[in-house]
Amino acid sequence: MKTRERILHTSQLLFNEEGEPNVTTVDISNEMEISPGNLYYHFKGKEAIIEALFARFEVTLSDILRAPLEKELSVEDSWFYLYVVFEEIYNFRFFYQNLTNLLHRYDSINRKYKRLMELKTRTAHALLSEVANHGILSIEDEELNQLCESITLLLTYWLTYCDLKGQQLGPPAAIHQGVFQIVHLVAPYLSDEYGHIYRECKALYQAATAELGH
């Protein structure tokens, strides 16, 4: 791995584990056993590292959210899709842990973050509209908007919320719970003949958590 890449990798790891405000560039170079000068040659400070990590997060999450979905997405595929979105958020969880403060400090990220949050809402809206057009969901426009807000909020804060509750779930269990929580938000709008989708998701959730020993 090139030094620049190793710096990003180590920073992401330390930020996630210690919390971004508690990690300095000196901590990062110490952890890597390189000189602060070497680190400075690649990044002119912590803000530059955070910007590079955010750019990476933005590209990956946007790609996932914009991925063209198959016309006939199976329940398993949909579950896996949501899992991957949460997993990506987990990989960059330090952004989410102190979001307000971080965005307050780094103005360039602030604008980009807002766009990413809007993309979450728009993606949820596009997917659910499509599903509604197929008659699987039965929901009014205005209710759909509110549902997409709740989904965006849940995607944004679920893992932080689990962390605060101190449940000591491993990340896969917390993510499966988050996916099921989103399914639960959508479930009341399933048309009568598609009620089995909720039961299938529940079975998936139970199988996943049983496998993880919860």
| Choice between 36 and 170, CB closer to a second copy | 170
- Per CB under 8 A, the list member of 7, 124, 189, 197 interacting with a second copy is 189
Q: Are 160 and 96 in contact (CB under 8 A)?
A: yes
d(CA 43, CA 131): 45
Q: Contact between 165 and a second copy (CB under 8 A)?
A: yes
Supply the minimum distance, in Å, between the C-beta of residue 124 and a second copy. Answer: 14
Q: Which residues fall within 8 angstroms of residue 185, CB to CB, at 6 or more apart?
A: 147, 150, 151, 154
Scanning 26-34, 37-45, 48-56, 163-171 for contacts with a second copy by CB under 8 A, the matching segment is 163-171
Closest separation in Å from C-beta 166 to a second copy: 6
Q: Which of 97, 129, 191, 209 binds a second copy (CB under 8 A)?
A: 97
Check residue 21 for interaction with a second copy (CB under 8 A).
yes
Distance, in Å, from the CA atom of 142 to the CA atom of 134, rounded to the nearest integer, reads: 18
Cβ neighbours, 10 Å, residue 51: 16
| Closer to a second copy by Cβ: residue 33 or 141 | 141
One residue of 185, 200, 209, 214 binding a second copy per CB under 8 A: 185
Report which of 175, 174, 117, 197 is spatially closest to residue 151, judged by C-alpha positions.
Answer: 117
